[in-house]
Structures are given as C-alpha cells and as structure tokens.
Amino acid sequence: MQYKTGIGYDIHRLTEGRKLFLGGVEIPYVKGLLGHSDADVLLHALCDALLGALALGDIGEHFPDTDPQYQDINSSRLLKMVKALVDKGGYKINNLDIIVITQEPKLGPFKKLIKENLCALLDLSVEAVNIKAKTNEGLDAVGRLEAIACFAAVSLIKGG
Ligand code: MG
C-alpha cells in the first residue's frame, strides 16, 4: 500500500469585530481571526497538509487571497475542495493530527466538537482524527493574545 504524508502550518492575527472559527466550529470569544476568508487557521493548516501530501503546492496557490470569490468564504468549503483533490488522486485519508496553539480561549471544551466536525467534513471515523490544544506559555505573538497558530499532519493511503 502506498502512503503519503503532509504537514501544514498557519497563523492568523486576532482582532476585534470578527467571529472566531476553528475547525469549522464557532468558538465564543471576544475576538476573531483576521483574514480574507473566515480565517479558520485550523482548516487552513489542514488544507496545506493535505495539499502537501498530494504534492499539489499550497492553499495560497489554489485559493489566492486576491481573488474576490474567496472573500469571507467559509473555510469548510475550501477543505471540501481539497478533499475532492484527495479523492481525485485516488487517495483516502488515513489519519490527521492537529496542534492548535492559542493562549486564549482555552480549547478543552471545544476539542470534541471540532473533532466531530472534521470527521463529518472529511467522512472520517473518530479514531482517524486527533486534536491537541496548547498555549504558548505567554511567549511571542500567540502568548500575547495577538494570534492563533496551527500545525497539521496527515497521512494518506493510495486506494484505501
Ligand atoms: Mg490562513
């Protein structure tokens, strides 16, 4: 069986007057993430990990932030388009592992919801998806509550 792995990273600035979306789930918080789309940093890192495994470049090449059709787009739709490329390539997602780095809000209460939403979006079982949430111990932009960052790793299996 042929395996592929991919990694993805993203960071977005926290700002007032925006809703916060992580993994397609709206998280109650006083700020949201700034971006051309809904700025869902988790879904963007995940898209990049999947594109990486497929050797198909990055999210910016597929969905340029200069293109008005992606203005304020729900990033779940971007993930669905990337998933279609996985299917087209004849691959199946074996597993996902995700680290969200956020000083605030605390994600413990939302990890299960995010996991369930990713399973629904990508048609995966819960055993295939892992979400980890970490703070940045008060360091750097994330630690100063200025941003949220995310890393994602995926493995794909040919055929499945
Ligand atoms: Mg992004």
What CA–CA distances, in Å, run from 11 to 21, 127, 157?
13, 26, 28
Q: What angle do CA 146, 151, 156 make, to 5 degrees?
A: 155
CA of 138 from ligand 1 middle (Å) equals 22
CA 106 to ligand 1 centroid distance, Å: 20
Please answer whether residues 15 and 148 qualify as being in contact, where contact means their C-beta atoms are separated by less than 8 angstroms: no
**How is residue 9 written in tokens?**
């990273």
41 C-alpha to ligand 1 centroid (Å):
5
Distance 131 CA to ligand 1 centre (A): 18
CA of 1 to the centre of ligand 1 (A): 32
d(CA 13, CA 153): 22
pLDDT of residue 160: 58
As a three-state string, the secondary structure of 14-49 is EEECCCEEECCEEECCCEEECCCCCCCHHHHHHHHH
pLDDT score for 71: 85
Give distance in angstroms: CA of 133 to centre of ligand 1: 18
- CA 13 to ligand 1 center in whole angstroms: 10
Determine the Cα–Cα distance for residues 115 and 21; give it in Å rounded to an integer: 13
How would you label 84-104 residue by residue, b for 16+ Cβ within 10 Å and e otherwise?
eebeeeebebbebbbbbbbbe
Q: What is this structure's pTM?
A: 0.96
Q: What is the mean pLDDT of each run of 10 residues along the chain (160 residues)?
A: 94 97 97 94 98 97 89 93 97 98 96 97 98 96 97 92
Reading the block at residue 44, the tokens are 């963007």
